[in-house]
Structure 1
Amino acid sequence: MLSKKDLSERDICTKYITPAIEGAGWNRHSQYLEEVSFTDGKIYVKGKLTARGTQKRADYILYYKPNIPIAIIEAKDNKHSVGAGMMQGLDYARILDIPFVFSSNGDGFLFHDRTVGEDGTVETELKLEDFPTPAALWARYKLAKGLTSPVAARVAEQAYYYDGGSKPPRYYQQIAINRTVEAVAKGQNRILLVMATGTGKTLTAFHIVHRLWKSGAKKRILFLADRTALIDQTRKGDFKHFKDKMHQVTNHQVEKSYEIYLALYQGLTGTEADRNIYKQFTPEFFDLIVVDECHRGSARDDSSWREILSYFSNATQIGLTATPRETEATSNSEYFGDALYTYSLRQGINDGFLAPYRVLRIGTNIDLDGWRPEDGKTDVRGGLVEDRVYNLRDFDRKLVIAERTELVARKITEFLKGFNRMAKTIVFCVDIDHAERMRSALANQNADLVKQDHRYVMRITGDNELGKMELENFTDPESKYPVIATTSELMTTGVDAKTCQVIVLDSNISSMTKFKQIIGRGTRIDEDYGKLFFTILDFRRATDLFADAEFDGDPIRVKEVTPDTDLEPEGAAGGTEPGDEDTPPIIDDVTGKPVEFPADPDPAAPVVAEPKIRYPQGGGATNGQRREKIYVNGVDVTVLLERELIFDEHGKPVTIKLTDYARQKVQEHFATLDDFLTTWHASDRKAAILEELREQGVPVERLQEAVGHDVDLFDLLCHVAFDQPPLTRKERAHNVRKRNYFTKYGAQARSVLEALTDKYADQGLADLESLDLLSTPPFTQLGSRLEIVQQFGGKPQYLQAVQELETELYRSA
């Protein structure tokens, strides 16, 4: 009979831990789950190929109610101590926002209470029969969370919406929902949630609204957005379950018999005639307002949108954004308070819920060195071009060089031809004029596909009705066309393009908010259509913003707030967004005054015609008038720089030499060559060491491209980190054959091992340890997988033979 020490971890769970849990009154069907995977596993990209990393998985998660995870248990086999799983449990509890952690080896439990202050006992050992009841942990939870009143506890306990088929919220959505509901239950009236684009802010909002509405805590709710597309998306999508309780506000007479209202900011403020339509509601009518994309107009003190929030100031107001604005003039946190929860792009990518990105930097000679017109250079209308050095900030905004536009279009096309010419692509341009010229240049570069369907490349901008009509088709995964969309502002935000695989940056972007929104167009995953990563083609060094600490950190309050600060607006604050101050106004031909555009044009808004382009007759402004764009051609434009950026495990671009960075990362894990070799030779699965290094940020694929694909990853790392001369895989395989290693096996087993050695020489270690390899040629010619394994005496003996082969391959090391 097996002793307790001989039992596996899973046996310990089944025989000891599960009975202890159920003995304390935890219901198997509704109050605990075993082996819970709470991430999808990070996506790794190698060329066009992708692979999923390991999912994070907890042994047990306990729930007081289905929507309230309350405790986590990490199990170990009985060879370990009772507290051996505690460190892993605490790490998972931190990620999942779970207050109580248990570790067990089957002898008892070590209990860690994360809610205890410095003066209390944090960890306690418990017997198996003393595992706490649901009521006992819930009492601790309520006390720690401040849910001391019966009303607050009842609101917090309200279940999620579930119709029998809907998926439960992901772990980070659950945290955002629970924190918000609990905060509202305790009386907090201003709440900010920061969640990266593509992580389901609207679904999170739905569950918050539904729980507060269903519990009776909030009776009339207003959901505000600033685009018709967002309202329609919300009404038909996540909020559809409200059915006849829901109403969309228009610029006409307001209906007051509903409970859930959806409205555009513009729909409530409207034109001058309809401006006060929101005042048809009394200030006390709504008791909850959810502000979608609150980084835009509602972040500014002087915004007309803020008027609505001020009018309904007694309502609880929840701001949702992927990109909180924090400047001296504009502050989300000043109005809503510090973010109650932040789920960043980096977290989403590391968890495997968001698509990772590749960055290809392309720089032309005139981008990198600037362009100075030769003496007497004239523009396309014969006007003299001002003699000065023009640079990236001038191109397409003040000066248009036809050859540069053509080169950018050619490089985009070259990339798509090598990747996928039907990959949905968004090209971000300086302005509408630039977007139209880029559309034309791309059409010329792709004449064969444009001939098949003119919608292959389209301009989708706020002034173009035909383009706006195709926006829905561009975002629909089932619609083939348009494939390439050129745009300026319209598609920077609020466009749910799940299958967008290429983002092209040919616009000067200095606003971090705008940059985050643009990158967010590519972060959604759609596995059904093969969208698992996206590529950024950067022609303007915009991706320098990845290096900014603000890119993926928690929002930092910039605007000073004093105890005397009145959070309600009293007047215009003024100011501009970063980067906006450099954008020249468009001058109306008739009035001579700047044309005012909304910050983010609504596809349903009235069309504002773009002023006609006026070609200058001379070399610049005269009589104090503003200079117009200068159009030139006949300029020599060539590519000087083309390279792929690499990023560390924190998502920041690596600025030091690739080999130096790799050496640094390897030596963080192995101080000496002996350390590395000892770990390597002792490992049963050598490929796992390489995979772990890859997950820790060692750029093994980039190193192989730089050093050579025929070099084994083991040799590559020894060479880069410890200056060892590398052997190729073929040389290692040849050395094994020279030593007559295979002669100790029978003929059939020898054939299999020789085929494995050939496979290693061609492809490396990646698949050598997988039984799936035996289902591919040439192994299928040697027998079925079962037959091959039986030639070695069974699966354990086969795997042992593979490990011995690996040892022999690296014997010279």
Structure 2
Amino acid sequence: MNDLVESQFEFVKEIDPLMHALLVSAEASYYSAPAHTLVQTRKFAESLVNRLAFANKIEFTEQTDFVTRIRRLENEIEIKADLISVLHTLRKNGNKGAHELNTNHSDALSSLSLSYKVAQWLYLVTQKKSIVFRPYQAPEDPTVETRRMRVELMELQQQLRTAYDKQAVNQEIQKKNAELEAENQKLKQQQYTEAKELKQQLAQLEQKVKELEQQPRPNVEVIDPSQLKQANQSFELSEAETRLLIDQQLNQAGWITDTELLTYAKGVRPQEGLNLAIAEYPTLLDEESGEADYVLFAGLIPVAVVEAKKQNKTVSSFISQAERYSQGFQFTNEIKSAYSLGDHQKPWQIENKTFHIPFVYSCNGQPYSQRLIDEGGIWFRDVREPSNLRRALYGFHSPHGLLNKLKYDVQIADEYLEKTEILPFNDRLYQREGIKAVERALAKGKDRCLLAMATGTGKTRLATGLMYRLLESNRFQRVLFLVDRSSLGTQAFKAFESEVIDQSQTLTQIYTISDLGIEYDTDIDVQVATVQSLVHRLFNSRDPLPIDYFDCIIIDEAHRGYTLDKEMTEGEDSIRDEAQYLSTYKRVLEYFDAVLIGLTATPALHTTEIFGNPVFTYSFTRAVEEGYLVNYDQPIRYITKLSQAGIEIPEGEIVDVVTNKTGQKSTAQLQDNMAFDVADFNRRVIAPEFNQVICQALVDDLDPLGEAKTMIFCVTDRHADQVVLLLNEMFKEKYAKAWNADAVAKITGAAEQPDKLIESFKKNKFPNIAVTVDLLTTGIDVPKISNLVFMRKVRSRVLFEQMLGRATRLCSEIGKTEFRVFDAVDIFTTLKDVNTMKPIVVRPNISIDQLINELCDADLMQKAKAVSISSNDDVERTQADLVLDEFIQKITRILGKAEKFKHHPDQTQLREAMGKIKENFGVESNQLPQLLRAKGIDGLGDWLKQNSAILEARLTEVRHSLGSLELPIISNEEDELVERFIDTTHQRPEDYLQQFDHFIQNEVNDNAAIKAVVTRPSDLTREQLRELENLLTSKGFTQTKLSQALGNNETNQTYASQIISMIRRATLGEDISSVEERYKRGLDKILKLRDWTPDQQQWLERLTLFIAKEVIVDKTMIHHQFVSAGGVKRLTQLLETDVEKLVDDISDGVWKAS
């Protein structure tokens, strides 16, 4: 029995009284309470880690778990890998002691001896004087006899299988069982007696530990690097200690392991129904004998060889030794071959090597570390295929996991997927392309795949179809669907539960899917889980999952882990440690030996570092072009005096300050001058006046009682409270008794029942305006969101684009064709160089008939196809694609608004107009844009030549029917607001126009097209116009930006008329003329040429208006414009003159200087 004065840890008292008390307590309770020993040695390890962290100024929060603290220490202090491994062992053993009823003395003895080595190391690190340490005198293990008896029982069970006299062996087994039970009872009695005798001493020790834990921790000196280096050099694990660590790793994976007793030399052999790790197993290859450190048997089947050597520095290099043992394994009659489980009926032949055991490992007991990948972890190779590479794993596979690898043939599954059609459930082409891209990547051996798909294009739906195929084909057996917050997990599970995928069945009806919060079960096919819950289960649990529990992980919102914006984990248990969320996220992914499939709309650098480059990309641009997402208008900028000038407070001024945790106000005197810009507003400086001005502008711009919803992004939870308060007060003043206070709501992690608020925002009329910080930035689908407001300046492109993605979804219910963005913090300027979701620029003033003319002009389209244009994604696009996009988007906007208002009781005329579209074209009006896009550029041009007149007539009827129902945007003119404008260039409008003027003036003498515009616009050809447009666009001068800089809201201006007016303004000083003004000038000139009949005058009015709008016209355009009247030939007859000459005369009049 141990006595307090006999403790071998007396030297620890010089280091730290608490550590000394913990170790003495652990030592004293070893015999009677081994579980207590495990708990106390873990506490010692925690105390050591905290002391070292404090000495090295490594900060932890209360939420930082023990495993993360060890990792921080490993990354930031030069500590030997063996020591890190020992700390993890003390941690895991402590978990056992705290949670398991039947702990063994073997683990307790291991923790005591390892703690002794760690304490020696700590002494050398912290103390200046030298000391001679005695070897640790391990107490006797009282369970040695019972362990020996269990091995003897195993041997008897083995003999029973082949014994001739089974009755005699059975009797021997019964006798041995009785002896074992008697020995167990004897041990319990001895433990009880020991505990009784030491009761007072143990109680005193426990009281001392409690008192020391309550005392302030003593100050510690910074660690001397030379002492640390010397201590590291002296810390070395023996062969036996290394084997103890490896035994524990194998035990954790489900293998029965005991290096001392379960050896081949002591007669241990594989047994049916037992998963044994038999140590020192003999092999023979090329007449050379050798002993495998372990051979792992699943019953009678040898499935793996483990090479486990202390001197194993670069772990991966010793895989080859394990491969030799696989080749040299000798079968006996009772042992079954692993290859007999599948279709492979002979050993695996790789060139001149024959492998009898399919899996091999190499390890040295040290933990997995990505930073020191070659020096730790468990290295593994599947030798069945020559292309399989060796790789580092977090742990050993379980027996079940290795048998599954043998049972299911990946190649057969890949072939099945290749020839099997995707179900109609994934009906969109891009979803099918994405699924096939993943399957092709898997067939090529990729174990990490990334799908980059724009927000709102159905990543969850694609994942549902993909999971079904991967499980149905037996490509994988159990899938983890990983999310970063519970609300997204709930949303995904509801989709799996409700969406019919095959033969009237949902995914939850076909497969067993476990929702959030459900215990992990071996019978499940799909588990939905959060990163946070897995961290607890894997690293802080007494029963961590095996590394092969999942063989496929689908990660939703795989971009998560950005750290530029600190509010990223709002609403979840924060993980505020080494690399914050990203570190924890990567640890979870690295833990499992599984294929990783990431889903994201916004790949970041760390995303591609984990998953590689995307195997499939479906961009925002392509989704808008194909009609699956809506575009957004150029951002509307709010500029206030404070956001423009910033806030400056001089040194010595008395200011109010707010305590973040309590929200209490106090005063302080500034020690220095302080300056704040808009990025600091409501973060480093509370700016109530700024909030007030912006909220007033929003009250003028938003309709909180309508159907279109709004999301406002704030800086902090307190800022969100202020915005909600201000908006409610201002809307109340505006709407009086018609106001509903539920229309505006804060939806953050700090809000009461945030999940219910999210659901209400999605499904109910109110709240109409959601004020949030981060809770609604990713994964929440609310199609009615039509307005986004940025009152928070973020630095992360990923987070910014996720915020934009909240409003991109289609919503025919409210006729949503685009969404608006309000920028109060100049975020678009900050992120302009990295934003991949820029709005698709459409020339707002180009008419549909002009676009029809361009699409019908085969020669023009052929040239346009040769002109490449810049794009938000990597897809090559041409000028012809842009014309097609503009045409489709204009039609989409008209018909989208019609869809919104068609159910109004007084819109009979609108419904009739929409019905005519179906009669004429065979599809519902809201499907017409997709029908026309599907024809392609050439096909659409041919179609329009036959149907343009009918199409324009139908669209005109719809537009007229809509009438005044279109809601205008109300501009803000509050005194406090310096400016509200649509931001296209991130420059002042006057600066932008001045740049344009300078450019034109410098080019006028060298550019034929510009010269023609200045001298005689009617001579300008359409080809020259296209070249001119390309030139101006390349210099940043687009029609949209120029129009907005001028404040020109005229909607019937064509590109040609607009750009000619701009150039003549820059060179001749002419005022920008409207279509009406040009029409009057042209008509005045032509009517003075001769006398015209009233009928001829009407035709001249139509022709002049056409020229005034289009400016550049030719015979083909005139023919298309007047085709219903008989074209150019008929026009010549009616006007009794040469139409081409007439057009020249009208054009000269149109551009006569005023």
For normalisation by structure 1, the TM-score amounts to 0.57
State the SS of the aligned residue for 1:339: coil
State the partner residue of 1:244: 509
How many residues get paired?
556
User: Which among 732, 736, 740 is matched to residue 1082 of structure 2?
Assistant: 736
User: Which among 972, 977, 981 is matched to residue 643 of structure 1?
Assistant: 981
State the SS of the aligned residue for 1:294: coil
2:823 is aligned with 1:544: no
User: Which among 734, 750, 755 is matched to residue 1097 of structure 2?
Assistant: 750
State the partner residue of 1:229: 487
State the partner residue of 1:156: 418
Query: Are the structure 2 counterparts of residues 727 and 545 from structure 1 closer, same or farther at C-alpha, using a change threshold of 3 Å?
Result: closer
Distance in 2, Cα, partners of 1:408 & 1:546: 21
User: Which among 608, 624, 632 is matched to residue 333 of structure 1?
Assistant: 608
Query: Are the structure 2 counterparts of residues 426 and 252 from structure 1 closer, same or farther at C-alpha, using a change threshold of 3 Å?
Result: closer
State the SS of the aligned residue for 1:320: strand
Query: Are the structure 2 counterparts of residues 758 and 724 from structure 1 closer, same or farther at C-alpha, using a change threshold of 3 Å?
Result: same
State the SS of the aligned residue for 2:461: helix
Residues 636, 822 of structure 2: 8 Å contact kept = yes
State the partner residue of 1:657: 992
State the partner residue of 2:711: 426
Residues 151, 185 of structure 1: 8 Å contact kept = no
Counterparts of residues 492-641 of structure 1 (less than 5 Å): 492-549=777-834, 551=836, 638-641=976-979
State the partner residue of 1:253: 519
Distance in 2, Cα, partners of 1:512 & 1:658: 30
Counterparts of residues 195-206 of structure 1 (less than 5 Å): 195-206=453-464
Query: Are the structure 2 counterparts of residues 351 and 273 from structure 1 closer, same or farther at C-alpha, using a change threshold of 3 Å?
Result: closer
Report the more deviating stretch, 438-447 or 718-727: 718-727
Distance in 1, Cα, partners of 2:702 & 2:1061: 31
RMSD over aligned Cα atoms: 4.9
Query: Are the structure 2 counterparts of residues 371 and 256 from structure 1 closer, same or farther at C-alpha, using a change threshold of 3 Å?
Result: same
Residues 365, 638 of structure 1: 8 Å contact kept = yes
State the partner residue of 1:811: 1148
Q: In structure 2, what residue type is equivalent to 1:244?
A: Q
State the partner residue of 2:740: 453
Identical positions, percent: 24
State the partner residue of 1:789: 1125
Residues 1082, 1146 of structure 2: 8 Å contact kept = yes
Unaligned stretches of 5+ residues in structure 1: 1-147, 556-635, 775-784
Report the more deviating stretch, 794-803 or 241-250: 794-803
Distance in 2, Cα, partners of 1:705 & 1:637: 22
Q: In structure 1, what residue type is equivalent to 2:453?
A: M
State the SS of the aligned residue for 2:528: strand
Residues 680, 689 of structure 1: 8 Å contact kept = no
State the SS of the aligned residue for 2:667: coil
User: Which among 1009, 1021, 1033 is matched to residue 672 of structure 1?
Assistant: 1009
Map Cα deviations across residues 543-584 of structure 1 (whole Å, 9 max, x no partner): 2233234756889xxxxxxxxxxxxxxxxxxxxxxxxxxxxx
2:1042 is aligned with 1:703: yes
Residues 458, 485 of structure 1: 8 Å contact kept = yes
Distance in 2, Cα, partners of 1:507 & 1:523: 20
Q: In structure 2, what residue type is equivalent to 1:465?
A: E
Report the more deviating stretch, 425-434 or 514-523: 514-523
Q: Which has the larger radius of gyration?
A: 2
State the partner residue of 2:634: 358
Map Cα deviations across residues 73-121 of structure 1 (whole Å, 9 max, x no partner): xxxxxxxxxxxxxxxxxxxxxxxxxxxxxxxxxxxxxxxxxxxxxxxxx
Residues 742, 766 of structure 2: 8 Å contact kept = yes
C-alpha displacement of 1:186:
1.6
State the partner residue of 2:530: 264
2:550 is aligned with 1:286: yes
Residues 251, 268 of structure 1: 8 Å contact kept = no
State the partner residue of 1:464: 751
Distance in 2, Cα, partners of 1:343 & 1:389: 46
C-alpha displacement of 1:791:
11
Map Cα deviations across residues 502-544 of structure 1 (whole Å, 9 max, x no partner): 2111123122222222222222233442322222222222222
C-alpha displacement of 1:227:
2.7
State the partner residue of 1:81: none
C-alpha displacement of 1:317:
1.0
Residues 501, 535 of structure 1: 8 Å contact kept = yes
Residues 194, 341 of structure 1: 8 Å contact kept = yes
Report the more deviating stretch, 462-471 or 423-432: 462-471
Distance in 2, Cα, partners of 1:271 & 1:218: 22
Query: Are the structure 2 counterparts of residues 533 and 806 from structure 1 closer, same or farther at C-alpha, using a change threshold of 3 Å?
Result: farther
C-alpha displacement of 1:440:
0.5
State the partner residue of 2:383: none
Residues 1012, 1019 of structure 2: 8 Å contact kept = no
Map Cα deviations across residues 469-516 of structure 1 (whole Å, 9 max, x no partner): 23223234xx32212111112112122232222211112312222222
Residues 429, 505 of structure 1: 8 Å contact kept = yes
Distance in 2, Cα, partners of 1:801 & 1:377: 84
Residues 295, 321 of structure 1: 8 Å contact kept = yes
State the SS of the aligned residue for 1:191: strand
Distance in 2, Cα, partners of 1:420 & 1:662: 45
State the partner residue of 2:559: 295
Q: In structure 2, what residue type is equivalent to 1:536?
A: V
User: Which among 769, 774, 789 is matched to residue 484 of structure 1?
Assistant: 769
Distance in 1, Cα, partners of 2:736 & 2:634: 27
User: Which among 683, 693, 696 is matched to residue 397 of structure 1?
Assistant: 683
State the partner residue of 2:1060: 715
Residues 456, 484 of structure 1: 8 Å contact kept = yes
Distance in 2, Cα, partners of 1:379 & 1:638: 24
Distance in 2, Cα, partners of 1:534 & 1:509: 20
State the partner residue of 2:667: 383
If each structure's helix is expressed as a fraction of its own residues, which one has the higher value?
2
Q: In structure 2, what residue type is equivalent to 1:497?
A: V
C-alpha displacement of 1:455:
1.4
Counterparts of residues 88-99 of structure 1 (less than 5 Å): none
C-alpha displacement of 1:441:
0.5
Distance in 2, Cα, partners of 1:318 & 1:805: 66
Distance in 2, Cα, partners of 1:746 & 1:719: 35
Distance in 2, Cα, partners of 1:796 & 1:274: 89
Q: In structure 2, what residue type is equivalent to 1:699?
A: T
Distance in 1, Cα, partners of 2:1081 & 2:510: 75
Distance in 2, Cα, partners of 1:461 & 1:802: 68
State the partner residue of 1:317: 596
Counterparts of residues 408-447 of structure 1 (less than 5 Å): 408-416=694-702, 423-447=708-732
Distance in 2, Cα, partners of 1:663 & 1:158: 62
Distance in 2, Cα, partners of 1:156 & 1:150: 10
Query: Are the structure 2 counterparts of residues 302 and 482 from structure 1 closer, same or farther at C-alpha, using a change threshold of 3 Å?
Result: closer
Distance in 1, Cα, partners of 2:548 & 2:558: 22
State the SS of the aligned residue for 2:674: coil
Distance in 2, Cα, partners of 1:662 & 1:498: 43
Q: In structure 2, what residue type is equivalent to 1:523?
A: T
For normalisation by structure 2, the TM-score amounts to 0.42
State the SS of the aligned residue for 1:445: helix
State the SS of the aligned residue for 2:471: helix
Report the more deviating stretch, 179-188 or 802-811: 802-811
